[in-house]
């Protein structure tokens, strides 16, 4: 499955009201660490996309959602279940950290 691109306009419907848990990568084009984790996020979508909504939100283009969730540093990856934030990872990290993050969301 592909990584969904969500926006200020689509975030509520695609993430908060999703019937699946969701993982959202808050990123920006100019952010080197964001680009570094992009292949990991894409791989998570391929591996877990049938059970978890994997999405990216460009903080420059969509400041409302980033502000609502207090995103101050990127990359920040948030996990959502039933419209609530249930986990957070910040910064570029090893693939295993992201895999464990998704596994915990599914547990």
Cβ-proximal residues to 10 (8 Å cutoff; 6+ apart), any chain? none
pLDDT in tens, 18-51: 999 999 999 999 999 999 999 999 999 999 999 9
Active site residues: 31, 34
Q: Cα–Cα distance between 12 and 106 in angstroms, integer?
A: 21
Complete DSSP assignment for 19-49 = SS-EEEEEE-TT-HHHHHHHHHHHHHHHHHT
pLDDT in tens, 70-96: 999 999 999 999 999 999 999 999 999
**All structural domains of the chain with their residue ranges:** 4-106
Overall pTM > 0.95: yes
CATH superfamily, domain 4-106, is: Glutaredoxin (3.40.30.10)
């Amino acid at each position: 499955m592909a990584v969904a691109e969500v926006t200020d306009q689509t975030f509520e419907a695609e993430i908060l009201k999703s019937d699946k848990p969701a993982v959202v990568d808050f990123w920006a084009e100019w952010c080197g660490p964001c680009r570094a984790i992009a292949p990991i996020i894409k791989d998570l979508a391929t591996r877990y996309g049938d059970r978890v909504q994997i999405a990216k939100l460009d903080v420059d283009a969509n400041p409302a959602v980033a502000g609502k969730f207090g995103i101050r540093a990127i990359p920040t990856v948030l996990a959502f279940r039933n419209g609530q934030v249930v986990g957070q990872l910040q910064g570029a990290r090893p693939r295993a950290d992201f895999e464990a993050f998704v596994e915990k969301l599914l547990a």
